[in-house]
Structure 1
Amino acid sequence: MHTPPPPLRIGASYYPEHWPRPRWHEDLQLMKEADLDVLRVGEFAWAALQPGPEHWDWEWLDQFMDDAHEHGIQILLCTPSACPPPWLIDLEPDILPQMADGSIKSLGARRHYSPFHAAYRDRAAAMAAQLGQRYGQHPALMGWQIDNELCGNITDCGPLAQAAFQQWLRQRFNDHLDDFCTALGLHFWSQRYSSWDQIPLPIQGSHHPGLKLLFQECCSDYWIAFCAAQVQAIREQNCPQPITTNCYAFNFGMAIDWRQLVEEAPLDCFSFDNYARSAHEACFYHDLGSSMGVPYWITEQQSGPYGANYPWPEDPLRVTTMATNGREHGAEAILYFPWRQIPWGQEQEHGAILDHNGKPGLQFHRVCSTNAQLRNCKPLPPQGIGLAFCWRDSWAWQHAGLKISYAEEMIERCYRGLLGVTPRVEICTHPDDLARLRIAIIPLKCVYDAAWEAAIIRLVVSGGQVLCCAHTFARDAYNAYRSQYLGRTMEDLFGIQVNRRIRIRNDAAITCDDGLRMHMVAEILDVDDAEIITRYSDGPQPHSAALTRKDHASGGAAWYCAGYPDHHGFTALVQRVTTHVGNADVSQ
């Protein structure tokens, strides 16, 4: 029996500490008129809640929580660790992270702290515990948000980070330094270390791609631990509400493995701040968010222009399109950012539901109309077609010689192409996710992983279709090329061997006999017992196989594309697969 989706929550970000108290009542009344039922509060309020080391001011938040409850509006309460207050920096100045160029990130921005700073992690957890103890049983409270847009594009590169990385490596390699040096091939360029203390941060210029990959993994682990400390602190106060944190688009970087964050923090909901540049990019993030195995919330939905983003002439339906796309792709909560334009600080140009004057205007009425549509909007059902997406692969590509923008290629080439075939894509961030699919598209999967290999085989053996692309499993866990690119097991599954790899110039492409054009990289295949579907018509080795398929007794098939077409070509590739299994009309 089909389970109906939970009711949609609609809300906005609100900053009661910014406005005089008489204004609260007026805003709450307008929010009810706009059909909002949730407010996100407190993510930058540390200085307002604790103006000094021994000075607390809870009264204003107590009052606002009560006022919101009286108006029938619930609160998503945030921990304020994204902005440690000035008095705390005075006490512990080494909280400020050191940038790659040696400069110290200054007070006055946000995320001006290092996840490697143990004392700050403890202080942030203590603040979360205070909030949990005071508000955990408040009738207005519906959930918790940890921090705000964890990490962003900030990476600490100072002494704390280096010491943490060295310790992390010691644990990773069970204190066996020789094993570490051998695994990374550190005889290259005389990089073999005789002490853990010699290992640098791989941040300047040309550096070892394996060490860079490991530092990315280390940073992700520390950010997750920073979040987890606050989750634990709230849970210890017996707070029953769901806990989340809001993640940001990949143009801020991919420093944190979101799937690992959900599982290890752990989080009860996955949340995303939607400032996507296009509808298909937004849909990608929504499909990714709703594939995490927990409820999916949009904690910031851009409600108006922001600086140079989407100025006039504007699309009058942009807010409606973005919000309804979110709901159709699985969001269970949509919160606009912000309720009112802020007159001060770095976000004073950020569009909002209300303008600076605080009066209902054009955007307010657009949001009211959008919300009426959202109440009748239902999520699209999954189609059984999925796209593999892995943070470790992204980090490997980022730090390898090819330096392909993983997120950009996945969104603009692969996911966009899939949308030409199916209205909703299941994003697979863990090998177990493949079990729920009929068709799996696995591009840019460059790092070998035995669990992913086994999941691919299981899907084909159980009658599913798998399409892998160039560079599949070409690298090991330390970003080194494997001597046998695919490996014997995958060669048997696909019926091919990868003979040679070719890097394609950015302004060039290799054409196939069916019109497909391969970009970025292409491979020369030796075909054993697969069927050749398409051949190269030009390039360094014309007439060699560009697309193959090996059918299996289960009814499944293993497809291999030896390059990367553009998004139109990806649509054509997936249409071939769906046609092969009798699903040519899946988009209907």
Structure 2
Amino acid sequence: MRADSPNRRIHFGGDYYPEQWPEEVWAEDTRLMKEAGVTMVTAGVFAWARVEPRPGEYDFGWFDRVMDNLSQAGLRVCLATMTASPPPWLARLHPEILPETEDGRRKWPGGRQHYCPSSPVYREYATRLVKQVATRYAQHPALELWHVGNEYGCHIRQCFCDVSAADFRHWLRQRYGTVDALNDAWSTAFWSQRYESFDEVLPPRLAPTFANPSQQLDYWRFSDDALRQCYLAELAVLRLVTPGVPVTTNLMPHHKPVDAFEWARHQDVMSLDFYQDPYDPDTHLGAALSFDVMRSARDGQPWMLLEQAPSAVNWRPRNSPKPPGVMRLWSWQAVAQGADALMYFQWRQSRGGAEKFHSAMLPHGGSGTRIFREVSELGRELASVPEIAGTRSHADAALVVDWQSWWALELDSHPSTALDQTQLNRAHHRALFEAGVACDVVPPSADLAGYRLLVVPNLYLLGEDDARRLEEYVEGGGHLVVSFFSGIVDECDRVHLGGYPAPLRQLLGLRVEEFWPLDEGAAVSVEGVLPGGPVSASGVEGDLWSEHIELEGAEAVAAFAGGELSGRPAVTRHAYGSGTAWYVGTRLQHADLRGLLDHVRQEAGVHPVIEGLPDRVQATVREDDERRFLFLLNHGGSEAVVELPEPMRDRLSPEGHGPVTTVTLPPRGVAVMEH
């Protein structure tokens, strides 16, 4: 947020679209916003067609009145650059901006995000608009921060048109310099793919069979970069016109096309859109992982939940409302994991359009509704604890995740195409989350020295430098857990020679002779004595994957039982330098992975926020030099009792409630305790 903002507080509000309503409704909007405890709104996201109805002709008068009304009501504005969805006239005048799929089909106007990210025409018109918006509102008292674009890569993840092809060739020239270097990186000696000129290179369009995997990988990199160049072009204008105003853009959860760690370098505050599913009993686990990514991406800095739903969404096959108390619980989960703003899509529920059945803070039924009452109650709660804003969390454990490895892992023509990076990340993160352990999420290029425990769900693609960094981490006393099919290829998707996993072979003390992916629905038994308890052939199974592992210094902690790999190591432990490296050669069931990670983290000296947490209760800490807040959230369906390590006061209880040593949480209950 702005350094010169008048108050320290957790911002609360939602997307505001006054252009959808007659002007006489606007006064009611600001009155009810104040009643609901709103402090900030996002405005202008889809206003391009209204403020520039014809090329170069601007109509800002109505938006001036919107900004003034909000300012007079004491509300701050997260002001969008208005470029998320081009107006129809732009596609009519310049159809070359429209994106194409890999099989050559054009995507037309009528929805949103109908632009090719590489289009210089789109970028020219977009930056021209941004300059107008930034210049006009640079000194407006309501301006809190800039919101660039919207959900980059949501609908157009990759474009394969001729404009993108030309941009891709330019990108490749900058990356490789010469076509010979490109041929080497892409292993084009295979299948007679050698290029004599960059002009011969195309995007990985629909081909008779598998496209070159290195080409596909580079196209993921290029497509992410093309989207980011759109963002950076607008950012450059904002930095020039309003250098003191912070800038953000809303990322999406588990969003493969956009490398959150790379994008974090170009934002002043991270923002996330997250829509939890009331039909999913474990939806809070996916949220927890995404929230940890947002907090970690800028070294623990507070972030913004820029969109969530007050109740039901409109885009799932079946859209459940959030039962009473659920919206509050999930909102506080974001705060507990580092959010300093809770925003919704949207303020007033639309009467028409594709999202008319998407819930809003102010529903079709008006202010006399359950949703509005719950929203208003949450607004009052957030206002009662403004000191939370700016506090941070500390973690001794980290999940190591890499977007480029993700792109490479899920390519075709692999031993198995059933490997899903998001599922692997969630499984390992869940084991730490349910143990009550604070966890960061970092790339392998991060500074790892401050962590006692690193958990690697998968690093199929691993460069020599990052492998060396992991080796130095363990050698210096760190504890590392690496799961299967890691350290297999380099940055060009070429296999590391010298035996799998060559860059980690010495660190792990083993060699993988051969991959044995499991058939759909198949499982493999594991026996031995896994840390956390004895394991028998009938008690523990792995699925999805197995490997023929040869020991080269490591000890076998558990072995496969039955089948072709019977007696071969399944889980290993290797003392290396002053630390320890573990390897897991199959996908363990949740309880067994949890038991293994519990043992390793205890060896590493990584402890839960609170020992003995009841099942499905989350505990996190945010603190600064003056205050320490303990958040307790009950994601379960029954009452839970939490024993506190010392007397604390519940900041959400009525005034006068003294310190307690026991907290009773009803289902969906929340407590914010302070020392």
- TM-score, normalised on structure 1? 0.93
Percent identical = 28
C-alpha displacement of 1:283: 1.1
The answer on 1:334 being equivalent to 2:320 is no
Q: How far, CA to CA, are the matches of 1:144 and 1:375 in structure 2? A: 23
C-alpha displacement of 1:587: 5.5
Q: How far, CA to CA, are the matches of 1:549 and 1:449 in structure 2? A: 23
* Aligned AA (1:578): R
Equivalent residue in structure 2 for 1:347, among 343, 351, 355: 355
**Matching residue of 2:592:** 569
The answer on 1:441 being equivalent to 2:444 is no
C-alpha displacement of 1:482: 2.4
C-alpha displacement of 1:305: 0.6
Tell me, yes or no, if the aligned pair for 1:303 and 1:319 is still in contact at 8 Å. yes
Tell me, yes or no, if the aligned pair for 1:296 and 1:331 is still in contact at 8 Å. yes
Equivalent residue in structure 2 for 1:298, among 302, 305, 308: 305
Distance change >3 Å, CA 372–CA 516, structure 1 → 2: farther
Tell me whether 427-436 or 232-241 shows the greater mean CA deviation: 427-436
Tell me, yes or no, if the aligned pair for 2:401 and 2:441 is still in contact at 8 Å. yes
**Matching residue of 2:272:** 272
**Matching residue of 2:478:** 464
The answer on 1:366 being equivalent to 2:374 is yes
Q: How far, CA to CA, are the matches of 2:467 and 2:74 in structure 1? A: 51
Distance change >3 Å, CA 225–CA 54, structure 1 → 2: closer
Q: How far, CA to CA, are the matches of 2:588 and 2:62 in structure 1? A: 57
**Matching residue of 2:625:** none
Q: How far, CA to CA, are the matches of 2:214 and 2:249 in structure 1? A: 30
Tell me, yes or no, if the aligned pair for 1:136 and 1:239 is still in contact at 8 Å. no
Tell me, yes or no, if the aligned pair for 1:432 and 1:455 is still in contact at 8 Å. no
Distance change >3 Å, CA 508–CA 353, structure 1 → 2: same
Tell me, yes or no, if the aligned pair for 2:462 and 2:488 is still in contact at 8 Å. yes
C-alpha displacement of 1:376: 5.8
Equivalent residue in structure 1 for 2:555, among 515, 523, 531: 531
* Aligned AA (2:224): S
**Matching residue of 1:558:** 581
**Deviation per residue, 1:401-454 (Å, 9 max, x gap):** 233453431344222222222343201135224233110001210102233213
Residues 491-570 of structure 1 aligned to structure 2 (within 5 Å): 491-513=505-527, 514=535, 515-554=539-578, 556-570=579-593
Q: How far, CA to CA, are the matches of 1:496 and 1:113 in structure 2? A: 49
Distance change >3 Å, CA 376–CA 552, structure 1 → 2: farther
Q: How far, CA to CA, are the matches of 1:383 and 1:296 in structure 2? A: 16
Tell me, yes or no, if the aligned pair for 1:413 and 1:566 is still in contact at 8 Å. no
Q: How far, CA to CA, are the matches of 2:84 and 2:215 in structure 1? A: 28
**Deviation per residue, 1:292-330 (Å, 9 max, x gap):** 114411110111212364745753222112211111111
C-alpha displacement of 1:54: 3.2
Runs of 4+ in structure 1 deviating by more than 6 angstroms, as ranges, are none
**Deviation per residue, 1:549-584 (Å, 9 max, x gap):** 122452x21111112223333212211202323546
Q: How far, CA to CA, are the matches of 2:93 and 2:419 in structure 1? A: 40
Tell me whether 34-43 or 159-168 shows the greater mean CA deviation: 159-168
Tell me, yes or no, if the aligned pair for 1:297 and 1:332 is still in contact at 8 Å. yes
Q: How far, CA to CA, are the matches of 1:539 and 1:227 in structure 2? A: 53
Q: Secondary structure at the match of 1:223?
A: helix
**Matching residue of 1:387:** 399
**Matching residue of 2:531:** none
C-alpha displacement of 1:516: 3.8
Q: Which has the higher helix share?
A: 1
Tell me, yes or no, if the aligned pair for 1:498 and 1:525 is still in contact at 8 Å. yes
**Matching residue of 2:174:** 171
The answer on 1:288 being equivalent to 2:293 is yes
Q: How far, CA to CA, are the matches of 1:430 and 1:493 in structure 2? A: 15
Residues 122-521 of structure 1 aligned to structure 2 (within 5 Å): 122-154=124-156, 155-174=158-177, 176-205=178-207, 206-250=210-254, 253-263=255-265, 266-277=266-277, 278-293=283-298, 294-307=301-314, 309=316, 311-312=319-320, 314-375=322-383, 381-400=393-412, 401=414, 402-404=416-418, 406-486=420-500, 490-513=504-527, 514=535, 515-521=539-545
Q: How far, CA to CA, are the matches of 1:224 and 1:404 in structure 2? A: 29
**Matching residue of 2:642:** none
Tell me whether 14-23 or 448-457 shows the greater mean CA deviation: 448-457
Residues 30-49 of structure 1 aligned to structure 2 (within 5 Å): 30-49=32-51
Q: How far, CA to CA, are the matches of 2:577 and 2:164 in structure 1? A: 52
Q: Which runs of 5+ in 2 are unaligned?
A: 1-6, 278-282, 528-534, 612-675
Distance change >3 Å, CA 376–CA 284, structure 1 → 2: farther
Tell me, yes or no, if the aligned pair for 2:478 and 2:604 is still in contact at 8 Å. no
Tell me, yes or no, if the aligned pair for 1:8 and 1:375 is still in contact at 8 Å. yes
Distance change >3 Å, CA 160–CA 585, structure 1 → 2: closer
Q: Secondary structure at the match of 2:446?
A: helix
* Aligned AA (1:164): D
Q: Which runs of 5+ in 1 are unaligned?
A: none
Tell me, yes or no, if the aligned pair for 1:418 and 1:570 is still in contact at 8 Å. no
* Aligned AA (2:295): S
C-alpha displacement of 1:168: 1.4
Equivalent residue in structure 1 for 2:28, among 16, 26, 33: 26
Q: How far, CA to CA, are the matches of 1:165 and 1:308 in structure 2? A: 33
Q: Secondary structure at the match of 1:571?
A: helix
C-alpha displacement of 1:485: 4.6
C-alpha displacement of 1:361: 1.1
* Aligned AA (2:433): L
Distance change >3 Å, CA 42–CA 462, structure 1 → 2: same
Q: Secondary structure at the match of 1:302?
A: coil
Tell me whether 236-245 or 484-493 shows the greater mean CA deviation: 484-493
C-alpha displacement of 1:380: 7.7
* Aligned AA (1:284): L
C-alpha displacement of 1:102: 1.9
Tell me, yes or no, if the aligned pair for 2:135 and 2:241 is still in contact at 8 Å. yes
Equivalent residue in structure 2 for 1:120, among 118, 122, 125: 122
C-alpha displacement of 1:375: 4.5
* Aligned AA (1:496): L
Q: How far, CA to CA, are the matches of 2:305 and 2:600 in structure 1? A: 33
Distance change >3 Å, CA 308–CA 49, structure 1 → 2: closer
Tell me, yes or no, if the aligned pair for 2:185 and 2:214 is still in contact at 8 Å. no
Tell me, yes or no, if the aligned pair for 1:137 and 1:239 is still in contact at 8 Å. no
- Count of matched residue pairs: 578
Tell me, yes or no, if the aligned pair for 1:80 and 1:147 is still in contact at 8 Å. yes
* Aligned AA (1:147): G
- TM-score, normalised on structure 2? 0.82
Q: How far, CA to CA, are the matches of 1:239 and 1:404 in structure 2? A: 47
* Aligned AA (1:332): D
C-alpha displacement of 1:260: 1.1
